[in-house]
């Protein structure tokens, strides 16, 4: 049997250990890749591209997909993935500490551009976000992937049947003593998150939903908290692999409160103008990323214990994009 070289074996051991502990190492190890359908781009040879991401599973996988794809194309990639929080990751892009990251249309529109009038049509929402961010910040939004990682309210199948929960406006069917929510720290206060959703559905925080009934927690334990009955309801995201694995029911957003959260590569305009071929690299990736594909990739990490960078490479290889 062929053994891994000692340094590589040591790195893999660290990755396995940290994954077993529930951590997702982002920058410690990037496996080698060779071109596949993504070919070397002469104009990118020796060009430094700084890739960033947020810290949750989907962002780590998408960030590593970007790192590996650009590496296969010949760029000199600086891996700056795994930044804590949306605001911090985005700030690294706008202040020229990073060049490129995957971002969500709804987050861009509401959180970063400060807009409160959303568009039910996903294409119009993308175009509005793209145009305003380009004008204000010289950030280019490449065409969106099909995957829409929107917020949702999740419950167990047992709770859905017990209380007759089918849509978000059914929340008031739950007796107030059982009207409990689990929410991750970032989503809690966002205008497009928990408190915004309550306002959008005419629910008062403090009376309709008692403050003592809301448990703020980390994303890492959120889904199991809902599934185990710690909370009757929880704020989830639609492409998280644990939704399917834990058999959670997603309530219909019957007032279409949540904007589209299609994932796009966002890139500094200066870099894209100098190297427009970057857009072609990611076009081949975005067209393959659907909700189902992303749920599967997320589940490989959160359910099966995979390492994000290895999950990213496995998928790119399976698509023939890299070898």
38 and 135 co-located in one domain: yes
CATH number for 208:
3.40.190.120
Q: What is the pLDDT of residue 306?
A: 97
217 and 295 co-located in one domain: no
Question: How many domains does the chain fold into?
Answer: 2
Distances in Å between the Cα of 218 and the Cα atoms of 57, 58, 205, 234, 235 are 13, 15, 20, 12, 11
pLDDT band at 1 (very low <50, low <70, confident <90, very high): very low
Residue 173 lies in a domain: yes
Q: Can you tell me the distance from the alpha carbon of 52 to that of 77, in angstroms, rounded to the nearest whole number?
A: 10
103 and 141 co-located in one domain: yes
Q: Can you tell me the distance from the alpha carbon of 161 to that of 121, in angstroms, rounded to the nearest whole number?
A: 31
40 and 133 co-located in one domain: yes
37 and 117 co-located in one domain: yes
- For 31-38, what is the mean pLDDT? 97
143-189 confidence digits (pLDDT tens): 999 999 999 999 999 999 999 999 999 999 999 999 999 999 999 99
CATH number for 83:
3.40.190.10
143 and 156 co-located in one domain: no
Residue 283 lies in a domain: yes
**pTM of the predicted structure, to 2 decimals:** 0.88
Q: What percent of the chain shows pLDDT beyond 70?
A: 91
Q: Where are the beta strands (DSSP E) in the chain?
A: 48-52, 76-80, 100-104, 139-141, 151-156, 181-184, 214-217, 233-237, 248-250, 263-268
Structural domain containing residue 168: 151-250
Residue 11 lies in a domain: no
């Amino acid at each position: 049997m062929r053994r891994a070289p000692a340094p590589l074996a040591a790195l893999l051991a660290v990755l396995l250990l940290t994954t077993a502990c529930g951590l997702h190492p982002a920058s410690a190890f990037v496996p080698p890749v060779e071109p596949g359908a993504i070919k070397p781009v002469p104009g990118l040879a020796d060009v430094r591209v700084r890739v960033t991401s947020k810290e949750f599973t989907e962002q780590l996988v998408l960030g590593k997909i970007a790192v590996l794809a650009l590496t296969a194309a010949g760029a000199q990639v600086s891996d700056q993935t795994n930044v804590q929080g949306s605001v911090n990751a985005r700030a690294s892009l706008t202040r020229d500490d990073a060049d490129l990251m995957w971002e969500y249309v709804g987050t861009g529109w509401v959180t970063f551009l400060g807009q409160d009038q959303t568009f039910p049509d996903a294409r119009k929402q993308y175009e509005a976000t793209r145009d305003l961010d380009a004008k204000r910040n010289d950030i280019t939004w490449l065409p969106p992937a099909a995957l829409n990682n929107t917020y949702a309210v999740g419950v167990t199948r047992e709770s859905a049947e017990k209380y007759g929960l089918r849509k978000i406006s059914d929340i008031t069917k739950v007796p107030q003593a059982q009207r409990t929510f689990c929410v991750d720290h970032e989503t809690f206060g966002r205008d497009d998150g928990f408190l915004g959703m309550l306002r959008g559905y005419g629910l008062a925080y403090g009376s309709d939903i008692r403050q003592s009934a809301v448990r703020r927690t980390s994303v890492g334990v959120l889904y199991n908290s809902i599934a185990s009955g710690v909370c009757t309801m929880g704020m989830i995201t639609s492409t998280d692999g644990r939704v399917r694995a834990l058999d959670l029911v997603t309530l219909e957003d019957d007032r279409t409160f949540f904007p589209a959260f299609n994932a796009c590569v966002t890139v500094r305009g200066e870099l894209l103008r100098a190297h427009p071929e970057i857009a072609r690299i990611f076009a081949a990736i975005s067209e393959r990323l659907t909700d189902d594909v992303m749920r599967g990739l997320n589940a490989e990490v959160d359910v099966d214990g995979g390492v994000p960078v290895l999950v990213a490479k496995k998928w790119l290889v399976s698509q023939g994009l890299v070898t």
